[in-house]
Amino acid sequence: MVRRARQPADRRWPEKDVIVNINPQEMKQLAAVQAQPRLDLYVGIHKALRALMADTLLAVGRMDSDDGLELAQTSQRVLALLDFCVAHLRHENAFVHTALEARAPGASELIAHEHEEHERHIAGLSALVGDLLKALPAQRADAALALYRQLALFIADNFQHMHVEETAHNAVLWSRYTDAELAAIHGALVASIPPEEMMFVLRWLVPFMNPAERRAMLADMQAHAPAPLFAAVLDSVRPHLTPREWDKLASGLGLA
């Protein structure tokens, strides 16, 4: 779920990190000395979130709101996304923000405020799903479009938000923590996730990693998890990989 990242920021786009309470000099120094890849707590799970968000938005956009089964299934997918978003931001608050504040007080302030905004936005989206499910047949198309547009705005905001976390927050974490300490924080976070949530996470995490990230993560699981659990994870992700991706993974894990 974690990977090594070689440098902290892509500077092509305007950054929100200029208003994050982080010393800009510290970030410049960090970029200058960042010769060794560092442990990245964010990149894997954020790839999963981006994939899940995009997939869900596209499903709402193409939904036939006159098809009762499709309406129910797509609404359920939106609610599952919203549940996952709440769980994710609470994991970040409890483990990552706590770590940031312990060694760089104020560093998580902006993003913590955005997490509060996201919880409000999530409640609003959940209400829109309720409106859609209760709508009369003649109102369903409008209710579906309203949900689609608000979900798109929520996702757009989250894409910006995750970029700040992956650049500004990582810069602070990498300057104040060793990789061993970051691995311990990550281990504690993962240990707090209930099994059902973990299987959902893995379904979105593994397929949307690149082959090297996927192989590294599953090799670690292969070495440490019980064999039946590892087999169940492979079974759950295989349908979401192309045959070529699966062949690379199986070969990398010594299964081919």
Q: How far is the CB of 212 from Fe ion (least distance, A)?
A: 25
Does 92 engage in binding with Fe ion (CB under 5 A)?
Answer: yes
Beta carbon nearer to Fe ion, 17 or 92: 92
Residue 92 C-beta: closest distance to Fe ion, Å: 5
Residue type, 209: M
CB of 14 to Fe ion, least distance (A): 19
Binding track over 52-91 against Fe ion, x by CB under 5 A: ----------------------------------------
Given the rule CB under 5 A, which of 40-48, 92-100, 177-185, 198-206 is the region that contacts Fe ion?
Answer: 92-100
Sign, Cα dihedral of 155, 161, 164, 166: negative
Nearer to Fe ion, 143 or 201 (CB): 201
Structure tokens at 67: 């098809």
Distance CA 226, CA 243 (A): 26
Contact 154, 115 (CB under 8 A): no
Nearer to Fe ion, 92 or 213 (CB): 92
Q: Is 17 in the site for Fe ion (CB under 5 A)?
A: no
Q: Tokens 């060694």 belong to which residue?
A: 103
Query: How far is it, in rounded angstroms, from Cα 74 to Cα 50?
Result: 18
**Would you say 90 or 134 has its CB closer to Fe ion?**
90
For 50, phi then psi, to 5°, come to -60, -40
* Gyration radius of the chain's alpha carbons: 20
Instruction: Provide the binding-site residues for Fe ion, judged by CB under 5 A.
Output: 92
